[in-house]
Structure 1
Amino acid sequence: MAHILGDLFANQLNGTQFADLIEGLAGNDTLNGHGGDDIVLAGDGADSVNSGAGNDTVEGGAGNDTLNGGSGDDRVEGGAGDDLVKGSDGNDLLFGGSGDDVMSGGRDDDEVHGGDGADELHGNAGQDLLFGGSGDDALYGDAGNDTLEGGAGNDMLYGGDGDDLLYGFSWGGEPVPAQDAGALVNADEPVEDTDYLQGGSGADTFEFRWLIDAKDEIIAKHTDANGNIDYSMNGVAGENSNVHDHWVESIGTNVVTDFDAAEGDTLVFRGHTVQLESASHADFDGNGQVDTILAFVSNQGGNGGAHDGDKVGQVVILNQKIDAADIAVDAGVFFGVEEPFSVLG
């Protein structure tokens, strides 16, 4: 493997038709891998990379970089900065890193992670996986049966053509506990996210998961130094013997813009200690059409405590008056409480 090394200034470095290690170091570099399975490390600076043919690994480093994996199954990481990241041909794995990135998977089946920042992600052709990460992101599945997950933040999800799966999320704000004389402290609240989901053509699934990341460590985070469960935390939903508690505040409004049961669209709701309280019908967006508004509350069961029944968010289905047949209920609950949605009948 040839080792092609730049310096602290702006370089133009070209690889061979074989496997190369190309390092730009500092400066605004232009790096071309050409053929072979190359490793291209751009380094700091506003760099331009085209790794060419082959299964390449590209790291942009700090700076606003333009990175193109070329043909082949590539791994491309933007790093810090506002990057333009393209996978092109092949089954690519793309990471934007921190910053406001624009990312495109290209042809074939790609996996795209926006990371921190307000990112724009495109799947293009193929069955793609798009993950926005934290920040207010826009995700476009484009052609193919894609999976879109906005993550934390106020996200816009567009499935495009194909039978797509679109996730609306709200993370639980699980605290990092600290021990002080046997008491747990620090209670971060959940982030209030508002997502807009548009499936596009095809039989799409809109799945909402609320207050995630609570269940696995809940006992450890409620146990004091003597091994006793501590229920004295403020802001805990359902301070009771169910040991199923969680920090609860509003988790925002999620809007489905183009639900169509005739196309085979489906709604799925899962949530940690969350259940449907009511379904109402009104003109939510002021366009003269009837919309469905689903309100969700915290549900802790018996002896639920002060936060049982707190409103935690709503899902709005634009231009549709839906009923129970449009909603999928999974008996195998894996994120807490799930109730039949017969109220919609």
Structure 2
Amino acid sequence: MNRIQGTRFSDWLEGTLLSDLIEGGAGDDDIFGYSGNDILKGQDGNDRLFGGDGDDDLTGGRGDDRLEGGQGNDTLQGNAGNDILDGGDGNDTLSGSNGNDTLSGGDGDDSLHGGRDNDVLSGGSGDDTLHGNGDDDTLSGGDGTDYLYGDSGDDVLEGGAGTDHLYGGDGNDHLLAMSWAGEPVPAQDADAQVNSGEPLADDDVLQGGNGADTFEFRWLIDARDEILDKHRDADGNVDYSMNGVAGENDNVHDHWVESIGVKTVADFNPDEDTLVFAGHTVQLDEITYEDIDGDSKLDSVLTFVSNQGGNGGAHDGDYVGTVIVLDNLIETASVDAGVFYGVEDPYSIIG
């Protein structure tokens, strides 16, 4: 392995096509590994480390560092300071350690650990595992089947697309399960036809842990720019009241209600926790009580149907999904799930 040593000044250090060990020393360094399985160490200073190709090991050291793994299965550790870590492609392992860090897994099945202080973790594509660790963290799973653990602190967990598992841990956490209705393929002629959408009907599991937690469900439309252009009035605002929400009078629909899947809420405490149903085009149809998980305790099964505020036509009343609250008897009066009108920012417009 080739070894390249920096100085106490701000260095520009480049590796070879082979596997290199590059240490920056003091100063604000720029270090490039290129090809090979490289070991890059920034040490003191605000450093920038780029792994390039290969399975690289990047360590920032003291200072506010930026680490980018690039291609390959990389290991990134920020250490002290407010660091930015980006795994890139491959199955990467990212650790922020001390400081308010920002971690992005990128493509691949990644493992992210925030460490101390208030961190922001984004899994990206793939099946990711995110741990906030200490303090107040924000975790976003992205695409794929993700596992999010807030651990201690008041955390925000958002599963994203895919079948996700959210565990708040200690603290007053906010757990957010997202589902989108699909955008149908626009009709190309005047003949009557039905076009299927591309819904994201994911079966998520939410567990709050200790503390006063909020379980939020957002079931939203998925209208793209060319569809939204049909609803812009003269001053540039988006106005869905002009032609309705679920369907149009011509040959293009803004969105179609599809299944939202089955969401499971575990560890719900009615004295502290809150259920929120936001930005939805659904309404509660009924609540039944049965033992879903076989523990001899009654669970609440909340069934939801489509409701477009009278504009959905034949699709009003269609079954769209279920929310299961384990070991609790939820009453209808405690569920706020009215009809949603208009556009919810920032989640409803998916470009």
- Fold similarity call, TM over 0.5: yes
Deviation at 1:275, TM superposition (A): 1.1
Q: Which residue of 2 aligns with 1:289?
A: 297
Q: Deviations over 1:80-137 (max 9, x none)?
A: 0000001110000110000000000000000000000000000000100000000000
Letter in 2 for 1:2: D
The yes-or-no answer on 1:77 pairing with 2:86 is: yes
Residue 132 of structure 2 is aligned to residue 123 of structure 1: yes
Aligned pairs for 1:202-221 (under 5 A) are 202-214=211-223, 218-220=227-229
Structure 1 residue 218 displacement after superposition: 4.5
Q: Which SS does the other structure have where 1:306 is aligned?
A: helix
Once the two structures are aligned, what percentage of the paired residues are identical? 53
Cα deviation for residue 278 of structure 1 reads 1.0
Unaligned regions of 5+ residues in structure 2, if any?
1-9, 233-243, 345-351
Q: Are 1:319 and 2:339 counterparts? A: no
SS in 1 for 2:200: coil
- The 8 Å contact of residues 237 and 248 in structure 1, kept in 2 or not, is answered as no
The Cα offsets for residues 304-340 of structure 1, whole Å up to 9 and x where unpaired, read as 322221111110000000225644579997757xxxx
Alignment-derived partner of residue 145 in structure 2:
136
Q: Is the 8 A contact 1:240 1:304 kept in 2?
A: no
Aligned residues of 2:309 and 2:340 also touching (Cα < 8 A) = no
What pairs with 1:264-343 in structure 2 (closer than 5 Å)?
A: 264-302=272-310, 304-324=312-332, 326-327=334-335
Moved more, 298-307 or 268-277: 298-307
Question: Separation in 2 of the partners of 1:248 and 1:329?
Answer: 16
CA distance in 2 between partners of 1:287 and 1:280 (Å): 17
Structure 1 CA distance, aligned partners of 2:161 and 2:207? Answer: 18
- Corresponding residue for residue 240 of structure 2: none
Provide the C-alpha distance between the structure 2 equivalents of 1:82 and 1:64, rounded to a whole number of angstroms.
5
Deviation at 1:70?
Answer: 1.2
Letter in structure 2 aligned against 1:265: D
Contact 2:14–2:31 at 8 Å: present in 1 too? yes
Answer yes or no: is the 8 Å Cα contact 1:266–1:327 preserved in 2: no
TM-score computed with the length of structure 2 as normaliser: 0.84
1:239 to 227, 247, 257: 247
- Any conservation in 1 of the 2:221–2:255 contact (CA below 8 Å)? no
Which amino acid in structure 1 is aligned with residue 313 of structure 2?
A: G
Residue-pair matches, total: 322
Against the structure 1 CA distance between its residues 207 and 239, is the aligned structure 2 distance closer, same or farther, given a 3 Å change threshold?
Answer: same
Partner of 1:341: none
For residue 13 of structure 2, give the secondary structure of its aligned residue in structure 1: strand
Q: Write out aligned runs for 1:1-345 (5 A).
A: 1-174=10-183, 187-214=196-223, 218-220=227-229, 238-239=246-247, 245-262=254-271, 264-302=272-310, 304-324=312-332, 326-327=334-335
Output the amino acid matched with 1:193. Answer: D
Distance verdict in 2 for CA 1:300–1:328, change over 3 Å:
closer
Taking the aligned partners of 2:314 and 2:186, their CA distance within structure 1 comes to: 24
Deviation at 1:259, TM superposition (A): 0.6
Equivalents in 1 of 2:330, 2:73: separation in Å? 46
Cα distance, 1:181 vs. partner?
6.7
CA distance in 1, matches of 2:37, 2:224: 47
1:273 positional shift: 1.6
Deviates more, 1:178-187 or 1:118-127: 178-187
Per the normalisation by structure 1, the TM-score is 0.85
Deviation at residue 302 of structure 1 after TM alignment: 2.8
- Across the aligned residues of Structure 1 and Structure 2, the Cα RMSD in angstroms comes to 2.9
Letter of the structure 1 residue corresponding to residue 329 of structure 2: K
Distance 2:190 2:18 in 1: 56
SS of the residue corresponding to residue 220 of structure 1 reads: helix
Structure 1 unaligned segments of length 5 or more: list them. Answer: 224-235, 337-345
| C-alpha distance in structure 1 between counterparts of 2:208 and 2:95, whole Å | 24
Q: Secondary structure at the match of 1:247?
A: coil
